[in-house]
Amino acid sequence: MLLGVAFFSFIMGNFIEIITNYDEKMGIINKGTELHNWMTLLTRYTNNKPLPRSLINQIDDHFTYFWANDRLASISKDDEYLNALPRSIKRTIMINYLFQDHFYKFRQFFNTFENRESEFLYDVAFGFMPRKFDENEIVYDEEDDVTEIYFIIEGTLGVGFRVPGTESNNIKLIKFFRDDSFVCDYYVCNNKRSEFIYQALKETKVVALQKKFMKEVFAKHPEIASKIKAESTKRYSKMIRDPLHEHRIKEIEDLNKKSAYKIIKIEDKKEAFVESNQDENEEDVMDDEFRNASIPELHNILKKKVESINDEMNQFSTNINDFSLI
């Protein structure tokens, strides 16, 4: 009986070791424990105050999606097996196998067919990183430092601005980019800050290329980089900057018209109130004058009123004549 238990333990131990080695070789490693330990270490710098639960959930959600969709989890540029292969096979694995869909869908950015024989696509392939944005999440705000280009796999990103003179959360989205589109390439390629707000309208899945990584790739391929930068600038001006600037100017003009209208209405009300009071005061004075005046004095009062009316009519005629000469 003891022999049977020992034999069973030996078999099970070897079986578990085989599964563990298989997972390690295939890259199926549960990194959740390592992530938890890392987050726990952060509490050392906050007097053991734990991270907020909402932040923990965000971090966990980010890495869960990243690990499940990272095609480079089991391969890198320094991989011994990859480097032992001929150049043509390495290119086939990276460009035609692992990332063929990306290079085809976003061929407008990569100029895929034109650059298919260059090392450019092979180098770029090692930079793709999966990302996911929640509904209504602000991806980039105005004047943010843009660190990544986003190639949209699924979902919608809107581009807009805050309506001037209104609350900060009053965002007007003008342009919308959906599946197989890409955004922020102009900012990354030309090292610019965001001019507008980029917001996810619903859960949006993308792949990203980081600015630091692209800077290194562009340094190796200056001619290709120059063309991509020029195309991204032209595309950005036509599709985003020009139409959004037009909408922003229109919003400001409409806001100014509304503000001016309100000011005019307020002034009209003030003037009407003052004139009404003046008329009432004048009527009161007239009543007192008529009640207390003698006959000769009444003639003088009426004479002054007639002269005043004549002066106003003459001034009115003069204004009409001047207006007709303009």
Minimum mean pLDDT range among 25-39, 127-141, 171-185, 191-205: 25-39
Q: Report the C-alpha gap between 223 and 80 in whole angstroms.
A: 30
Contact by Cβ (8 Å): 28, 74: no
Per-residue pLDDT band for 10 (boundaries 50, 70, 90) equals low
Q: Among 19-23, 24-28, 81-85, 312-316, which range has the highest average pLDDT?
A: 81-85
15 pLDDT band (50/70/90 cuts)? very low
Q: What's the CA angle centered on 279, arms 275 and 280, to 5 degrees? A: 120
Query: What confidence score (pLDDT) does residue 302 get?
Result: 63
pLDDT tens for 226-276 read 999 999 999 999 999 999 999 999 888 887 777 665 555 545 554 554 455
Mean pLDDT of the chain: 81
The residue written with tokens 């034999």 in the block is 7
Provide, rounded to the nearest whole percent, the portion of the chain with pLDDT above 90: 51
Q: Is the CA virtual torsion 205, 207, 210, 211 positive or negative?
A: negative
pLDDT > 70: percent of the chain: 69
CA nearest neighbour of 228 among 98, 122, 115: 115
DSSP-based three-state secondary structure for 210: strand
What is the rounded average pLDDT of the residues 198-225?
A: 97
Task: Tell me the mean pLDDT in the region 285-308.
Answer: 59
Angle of helix 211-220 relative to helix 222-236, nearest 10 degrees? 130
**C-alpha distance across the termini of the chain, in Å:** 120
So what's the pLDDT on residue 53?
A: 86
Whether the CB-CB separation of 151 and 103 falls below 8 Å is answered with no
pTM over 0.85: no
Sequence-separated (6 or more) residues with CB below 8 Å from residue 241 = 195
User: Quick one: residue 131, left, alpha or beta (phi over 0 = left, psi -120 to 50 = alpha)?
Assistant: beta
- Stretch 50-55: mean pLDDT: 85
116 versus 43: which is more confidently predicted? Answer: 116
Q: Are 125 and 70 in contact (CB under 8 A)?
A: no
Work out the average pLDDT over 65-79.
92
Find the helix or strand (DSSP H, E) in which 298 lies. helix 295-324
Question: Helix, strand, coil: what percent of the chain each, to 5?
Answer: 65, 15, 25
